[in-house]
Structure 1
């Protein structure tokens, strides 16, 4: 965060573009989709638009997860055109991932194509991001066993790379897929046992400062449903306000 402050305050490309991209990638890992979307949208609309092309897939993911996929389509089209020109497998893999995110019918084939292309080249980080998104879709499609396989692969890569926010986002998804994870934090078993699995996931995310809408985007719930789970969780945890969640050890 601190390393990007000066570049963002000066507003001089390309350093400001790179700083905005780095900050937005962190926001994505933490589930702050609306913040990532607004920052990237401003960057793409700025005078150094061409320098922001590598961040277009982040804009697509942020828009889709924030519930405004229509704001992602131009970025996805632009990136797809660039992928066709470069003919690089890793670029085409990410373009396929963007297409999968925007496919409301059956994104499975696009995710599979993306992973095939990732294996031809590119970075483990981007492949893990694709596996995470694929796993999220599989879990929502009630294919939990398939989802867990993809999510475990993503988690292993994120942990190996030291991408802590992305690893935690993947653990959250694995828990939503019905898996109990030992994360080494300990001490929260008694509190955690008081909550249903869904209440626990919502409470953990709320404790990090995310809004109901941001939590809903991460767990694929409506903001109202998130609020309902928090309302039920508070008396079980012996608290009366959201601000008190941060002091609890929920494991």
Structure 2
């Protein structure tokens, strides 16, 4: 079991990295601290550090480190967002959400989408409800603009 003295060192390292201009090292320190917290069975505390690390790794384009942070987040019970690709705003969606968003953007109603995909209209509504915040939109009318800006056809 990790000792509390270890945590003092982690907190000090995180604090020191907040003061410098090395985001990569800051993210690696937060990742290590998050891993340590998870192994100490402090999942909520671990998520804070792991999310911060993931955000920095994604921003820096450090894909392998970001995937490691995502794996640790999944181990805490969190479901981290998929990495956002610059050329595809729909990349943050699950495959089912992406399919439903594309159909809704083409003008299909929840009932029409449900019939086409063998789902209930309520399930379609739920997927759209989950997709809107991921896409940074608040209205169905904004879906067409988001799907047009996606350079990945049919994804």
Provide TM-score, normalisation by structure 1: 0.32
Q: 1:108 is matched with which residue? A: 7
Give 5+ residue unaligned stretches, structure 2: 83-91, 97-155
Relative to 1, partners in 2 of residues 1:121 and 1:182: Cα closer, same or farther, differing over 3 Å?
closer
Q: 1:56 is matched with which residue? A: none
The one of 157, 160, 169 equivalent to 2:59 is: 160
Counting only pairs closer than 5 Å after superposition, residues 94-133 of structure 1 correspond to structure 2 as 104-106=2-4, 107-133=6-32
Q: 1:35 is matched with which residue? A: none
Relative to 1, partners in 2 of residues 1:115 and 1:155: Cα closer, same or farther, differing over 3 Å?
same
Q: 1:142 is matched with which residue? A: 41
Runs of 4+ off more than 3 Å:
184-188
Question: Relative contact order, CA 8 A, sep 6+: which one is greater?
Answer: 2
Distance in 2 (CA, whole Å) between partners of 1:173 and 1:145 is: 12
Post-superposition shift, 1:121?
A: 1.4
Report SS of the residue matched to 2:19. coil
Contact kept, 8 Å, 2:57 with 2:66, in 1: the verdict is yes
Give 5+ residue unaligned stretches, structure 1: 1-102, 189-251
